[in-house]
């Protein structure tokens, strides 16, 4: 069988702005992306079926016999066994929620409306359906990913300058460097990826993961439930936050219960609130309705889309959403919803596509990444899509 992870349209909309530049399976929660989790459980490569504009960067690969898996679903052994029993023309569902389809070649629209023979799944099902799920589930997912990634492997030896307090392990991949650090592992493990640097005086509490090429700056204080995606720089105080990768928070300032997209930069002393003074539930911008919606959570910080940035001493209020390719700055609290391709603070102006592309090219070049034709085409497609989706915001 050929495995294809498909985006359910309604869920992809729920996860904006983080799904402007990526399909759902490219979202990182824990140590791995959803695609990497499925490939580990299936012991097989997968491809991705999403909106047309994403297909150049995330191409789909068809065969005669395909299994289409809802990419917002977290894999489990029980679920994989149920998928293995599907016959051609069947759809595995939990109630009315589609989990997997076995069929010949289907395009994205056909998958959304597939009406095959229904087979009900009565096991446990965990899904990524809201922006807040990414940081809310992150600590749990780090623990699960840690077990799969380190099973049967031996960690590199920790230096004598590293202090471990707690029963969970600290695992170092090849090339990881720790100048000195205190790791508290009473609540979860610590995963240090290839060529990661932990600079002197860092305080890190598990569950925590730093992926390949990341840097933890001197004196950083990082609490559990935090993931640094590849090539991320992290300093200051951080809690329950997921960086997708290639992002900078290199200086002091607090960031908690947050998700930061790729190629973002948080200026020195950028801070966010993650708890309201009256302790009521946090409301968060919801793209499908164009309004704020109750998250049901007391703790919720900043959601920042790809290629967005904040100036020094920027203050983000509880439950703030910043779109993609925006520059946020100013001495007051920023709007709780800051649209995409904007520049400013409480009063913002449009950020021109050509200027945004120039900055993206310069930023990516610093990380030895090319702003190639695929990235250029994706930028243009996202810009045009946003002109329609965010026109009234």
Q: Is the pTM of this model over 0.95?
A: yes
CATH placement of domain 2-129: 3.90.550.10
> What would the two tokens of residue 98 be?
């589609």
Residue 191 pLDDT grade (very low, low, confident, very high; cuts 50, 70, 90):
very high
Residue 266 pLDDT grade (very low, low, confident, very high; cuts 50, 70, 90):
very high
Phi, psi of 138 (to 5 degrees): -65, -45
Q: Sign of dihedral through CA atoms 292, 139, 184, 194? A: negative
- Considering only residues 391 and 364, tell me which one the structure prediction assigns the higher pLDDT: 364
- Is 159's pLDDT higher than 70? yes
Look-up: residue for tokens 């704020």? 292
Residues of the chain with CATH 3.90.550.10: 2-129
| Mean per-residue pLDDT over the chain, rounded | 96
* Cα distance between residue 176 and residue 327, in whole Å: 33
Architecture of domain 133-275+301-346: 3 Solenoid (2.160)
Q: Which residue(s) pair with 103 in the sheet?
A: 66
- Is 393's pLDDT higher than 70? no
Mean pLDDT is lowest, of 41-45, 271-275, 346-350, for 346-350
Look-up: residue for tokens 């946020």? 328
pLDDT tens sequence across 321-367? 999 999 999 988 999 999 999 999 999 999 999 999 999 999 999 99
Residues of the chain with CATH 2.160.10.10: 133-275+301-346
């Amino acid at each position: 069988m050929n495995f294809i992870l498909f985006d359910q349209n309604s869920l992809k909309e729920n996860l904006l702005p983080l799904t402007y530049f990526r399909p759902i399976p490219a979202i990182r929660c824990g140590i791995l992306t959803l695609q990497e989790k499925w490939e580990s459980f299936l012991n097989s490569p997968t491809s991705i079926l999403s909106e047309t504009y994403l297909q150049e960067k995330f191409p789909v690969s068809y065969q005669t016999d395909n299994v289409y898996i809802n990419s917002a679903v977290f894999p489990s052994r029980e679920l994989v066994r149920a998928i293995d029993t599907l016959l051609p023309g069947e759809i595995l569902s939990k109630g009315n929620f589609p989990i997997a389809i076995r069929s010949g070649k289907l395009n994205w629209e056909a998958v959304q409306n597939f009406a095959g023979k229904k087979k009900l799944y009565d096991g446990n099902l965990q899904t990524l359906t809201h922006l807040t799920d990414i940081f809310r589930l992150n600590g749990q997912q780090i623990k699960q990913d840690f077990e799969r990634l380190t099973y049967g492997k031996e960690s590199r030896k920790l230096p004598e300058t590293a202090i471990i307090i707690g029963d969970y392990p600290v695992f170092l991949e090849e090339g990881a460097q720790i100048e000195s650090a205190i790791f508290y592992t009473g609540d979860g493990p610590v995963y240090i990826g290839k060529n990661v640097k932990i600079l002197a005086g860092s305080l890190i509490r598990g569950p925590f993961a730093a992926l390949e090429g990341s840097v933890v700056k001197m004196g950083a204080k990082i609490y559990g439930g935090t993931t640094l995606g590849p090539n991320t720089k992290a300093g200051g105080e951080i809690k329950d936050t997921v960086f997708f990768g290639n992002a900078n928070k290199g200086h002091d300032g607090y960031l908690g219960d947050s998700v930061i997209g790729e190629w973002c930069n948080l200026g020195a002393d950028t801070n966010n609130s993650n708890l309201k003074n009256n302790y009521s539930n946090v409301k968060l911008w919801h793209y499908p309705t164009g309004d704020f919606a109750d998250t049901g959570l007391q703790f919720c910080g900043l959601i920042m889309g790809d290629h967005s940035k904040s100036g020094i001493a920027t203050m983000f209020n509880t439950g703030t959403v910043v779109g993609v390719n925006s520059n946020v700055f100013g001495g007051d609290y920023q709007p709780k919803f800051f649209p995409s391709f904007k520049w400013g603070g409480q009063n913002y102006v449009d950020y021109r596509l050509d200027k945004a592309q120039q900055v993206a090219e310069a930023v990516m070049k610093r990380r030895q990444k090319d702003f190639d034709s695929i990235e250029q085409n994706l930028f243009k497609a996202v810009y045009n899509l946003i002109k329609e989706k965010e026109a009234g915001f």
